[in-house]
Chains A and B, each alone.
Chain A
Amino acid sequence: SQWGEENLQALSIQEGEDVTMNCSYKTYTTVVQWYRQKSGKGPALIILIRSNEREKRSGRLRATLDTSSQSSSLSITGTLATDTAVYFCATDPGNTRKLIFGLGTTLQVQP
């Protein structure tokens, strides 16, 4: 498998808390993409970080990438109930035009 065991998680937190999700992968990638999937919808990209970047921010989102340990994290600050979703990381090993998706982290934010 492409993924480490921490790629399947379920988290439940209170609104306003900060949360960090982790993703480890086993093969080289040029990019790590983070997708969010809300109930009954398709996944949608929320942040993308390339192999030459260590950190990327977008609003309340922060992604990190450590190519030496082949791991990435997604942090959300000041969570809202609307952040409730499944979060996937995805890698592109070998620039193949295909993505490999992790198993996802289910995040429940209680209002």
Chain B
Amino acid sequence: EAAVTQSPRNKVAVTGGKVTLSCNQTNNHNNMYWYRQDTGHGLRLIHYSYGAGSTEKGDIPDGYKASRPSQENFSLILELATPSQTSVYFCATSGTGGGDTQYFGPGTRLLVL
């Protein structure tokens, strides 16, 4: 049974619209992460969280917000979606140790028209 799930798996949005990507985990990990993956750029960290109620900015946070209402759930919010945010988004979790393995969800493919 998948430990990290993402919804939706595919999303088409309009420019200027609001998009919410959701991630749920059953790993009971404190750390959760949102990445985007684009050709030629690899995985880039957008936001991350060390536990419920906390969010931190990653390397490319502009245009994105994050919310961690519980241990299990971590959301990525695009308040005003733009075509440049068309990408594949991955959620990941890890334990509290430095250098811990990250466990990824299956990804959400977002197309902003």
Contact = CB atoms under 8 A, between A and B. Distances in A.
Interface residues of B, number: 27
Interface of B: 4, 31, 33, 35, 40-43, 45, 48, 50, 58, 90, 92, 94, 96-107
20 contacts: A8-B40, A29-B99, A30-B98, A33-B99, A40-B107, A41-B106, A43-B90, A43-B102, A45-B101, A45-B103, A48-B99, A88-B43, A92-B98, A96-B98, A97-B31, A97-B94, A97-B100, A98-B45, A99-B99, A101-B42
A37 B108 CA distance: 15
Interface in A65-111: 88, 90, 92, 95-99, 101-104
Interface residues of A, number: 25
A97 B96 contact: yes
A42 interface: yes
Given A44-B104, A97-B50, A102 B42 contact: yes
**For B43, B94, B104, B107, which residue has the most chain A Cβ atoms within 10 angstroms?**
B43
Interface in A4-63: 8, 29-31, 33, 40-45, 48, 50
Contacts of A90: 102
